[in-house]
Structure formats: structure tokens, C-alpha cells
Amino acid sequence: MSPGAPGAFRGPRKPAHAASAIRPNQVPRRGRPARAPRKVTRGEAAIASRDDTLAHTLAHIEQYAVEDATLSSARETGQRAESSPISASGGAALRFLAASIGARAVVEVGTGCGSSGIWLLRGMRGESVLTSVDIEPEYQELARAAYRRAGFPANRVRLILGRGLHVLPRLTDGAYDMVFVDAEPASYPAYLAEALRLLRVGGIVVFNNALEAATSSDGPLSAPDAGTAAVREVARLVRDDEQLIPLLLPIGEGLLAAIREEAPADS
Ligand SMILES: C[S@@+](CC[C@H](N)C(=O)[O-])C[C@H]1O[C@@H](n2cnc3c(N)ncnc32)[C@H](O)[C@@H]1O
């Protein structure tokens, strides 16, 4: 995860009152009486302590997911290449989800330098195949090397160069256990439509970077950009679709997941 990646975990936040307080060793400007530090209201203190607790909880979850040397090296390569590799906790969740449904065929949009692919492959059954799509050939070459270092033979991964929305329509309907989308947030709703076509009943779709967009607040100077609006839209679509069992996981960059159920009989 690159530090600037959307939704990247940024460590403990400053309490809301931190910027306005005068530090003990601060010298008041000449001619002006020193202003007493503004009193922190009870509400501000409560918010600050809640933020602190949340930051510690998120840090704990992040540290709980253990990366081995192969995964650390893939993530570091991704960070150097600025491909925004998935966090360890997000990757651990992908592995868990893939294993929980015994995934044999998974599609990923956004190969990057291979971090999420390794997590997915570690959750998938032996003999299974990960199909991963990216627009950057250099990233895919680094990912290929990372899969090899992680011990996966070349026939376990099908790397396809191209835009996800050009490639996914060429894949077979109902043939996949899991679709993971980690690219082009502005097109998440379109990826959801593709994923629902590709997934078998009981299959899972997962979108990364679901959290920050969902929780950031708007104002006169901060209208949502296209990516944020689309992430919110896909979250709403997933929740409102009776054919899906939705789950928003507040880990890593935030994962929005949904299980595809049987279509209702009357549809
Ligand atoms: C957040 S990174 C993926 C990180 C990767 N999942 C990992 O954990 O290492 C997003 C990736 O999507 C790729 N990308 C951007 N737009 C794309 C598109 N329209 N179709 C496919 N890949 C795209 C970028 O080249 C980049 O590698």
C-alpha cells in the first residue's frame, strides 16, 4: 500500500483539538498577551478518544495479518513502483474469502506487482487458476516474477494485458468463483455488472478501496469526485440487490464484498 493510496491506512490521527492548542514552550508574540489554550469541549475529547481507539484497533488488525518474506518483498516492489499494493489485512481477507468457498477460478482487475494475487492464490485450491488483468505490462512482469518466487507455477496464473472493462466481457458467464476489483474506482458499478455475469451462484465479488469513499463527508468545497461517487454507488447497488448478500469490511483500504445468490424465482 503506498502511503498516498486512496484509503491507505495513515496511522493514528491527531486529536481534533491538537492544531489549536498553544504548546507549553511557545513564546507569545511581542505586544500581545499570551492566549490561554482553548478549552477542549467534552464532545471534542470524546471524538479524539474514539479516533484514537479506532486508529489503534485498525493498527492492531493490520499487524495481526502476517506477511512472509515473499509477500513483504512483493508489497515493497509494488510500493517502489507506485502500484498501490494491497495491505496485509486486506490480502489476508482475500485469502480467507477465496479459501472459504474453495475457489478454483478467480478474476482480478488490477494485477499491480502481484501482492493481492499471491494472497488470492494462497487461498485458492491447488490446480486452480487466477486470471488477472492490468493495463501496465511492466507491473505484470513484476507480478509474474513475484508469483514465481512465491512458488506458483506459470500455469496457475493467466495474465491479460488490457482494460478490465474490455477484457471481462470476453470471459465466460458463470464460470468464476470470485471476482476481485482493485482498479478504476470510477467504473466500479460497471465492474459489478460484469462480476454478476461472471460469478457462479455462491461466488463472491470484492471491491477494494471501499471505505474512505464511503465515509468521507461532502461540503461546499469537497463535492465527491467521480471515483468517490462511483464507490458509493456500487456500495448502494450491492446492498440493495436482493440477489446479493453484502458485507462492508473496515480493514485495510476497506473491502466491499457480496455473495451472489440464486436469482429470485420470479425474476
Ligand atoms: C491499486 S493497483 C492494484 C494493486 C494490486 N491489486 C496489488 O495488490 O498489488 C491498481 C492497478 O490497476 C491497474 N489499472 C488501472 N486502470 C485499469 C483498468 N482500467 N483496467 C485494468 N487495470 C487497471 C493499474 O495499472 C494498477 O496496477
Say which CATH number the domain at 78 has.
3.40.50.150
Angle at 21 between CA 38 and CA 43, to 5 degrees: 60
Residue with the bigger pLDDT between 204 and 39: it is 204
Q: Containing H/E element for 51?
A: helix 42-64
**Exposed e or buried b for every residue in 20-33, given b needs 16+ CB within 10 A?**
eeeeeeeeeeeeee
* 92 located within any domain: yes
Domain hosting residue 170, numbered range: 64-260
pLDDT digits (tens, 9 = 90+) for 63-80: 999 999 999 999 999 999
Q: Indicate whether 11 pLDDT > 50.
A: no
Asked if residue 46 is part of any domain, the answer here is no
| Sign of torsion over alpha carbons 63, 129, 85, 16 | negative
Is 145 a domain residue?
A: yes
CB atoms under 10 Å from CB of 173, counted, come to 10
Per-residue confidence band for 216, with pLDDT thresholds at 50, 70 and 90: low
Strand partners, 180: 108, 206
Which atom of ligand 1 is nearest to 183's Cα? 12
Average pLDDT, the chain: 85
Q: Beta strand 199-207 with 129-134: parallel, antiparallel or unpaired? A: unpaired
Contact in structure between 77 and 150 (CB atoms under 8 Å): no
Could you tell me the pLDDT band of residue 267, with boundaries at 50, 70 and 90? low
Write out the three cell numbers for 50: 474514539
Three cell numbers, residue 204: 463472491
- Mean pLDDT for 171-179 is 98
Backbone angles phi, psi at 138, to 5 degrees: -65, -40
> Which of 106, 121, 174 shows the shortest CA–CA distance to 151?
121
* In the block, residue with C-alpha cell 515493497: 76
Residue 14, domain member (yes or no): no
Whether residue 150 is contained in a domain is answered as: yes
DSSP reduced 3-state for 257: strand
Question: How many residues comprise the chain?
Answer: 267
* 113 Cα nearest atom in ligand 1: 9
CA of 67 to the centre of ligand 1 (A): 21
| Residues contacting ligand 1 via CB (< 6 Å) | 78, 83-86, 109-116, 133-136, 139, 163-164, 182-184
Q: Which atom of ligand 1 is nearest to the CA of 143?
A: 9
Q: Is residue 188 part of a domain?
A: yes
Number of domains the chain is built from: 1
* Measured CA distances, 180 to 12, 111, 165, 218 (Å): 28, 10, 13, 28
Provide the sign of the torsion angle of the four alpha carbons 19, 24, 25, 29, taken in this order: positive
Instruction: Judge whether residue 30 has pLDDT over 60.
Output: no
**Domain assignment present for 32:** no
Residue in 111, 121, 132, 136 to alter for ligand 1 test, most ligand atoms within 8 A of Cβ: 111
User: What is the DSSP-derived secondary structure letter of residue 127?
Assistant: T
Residue 2 resides in a domain: no
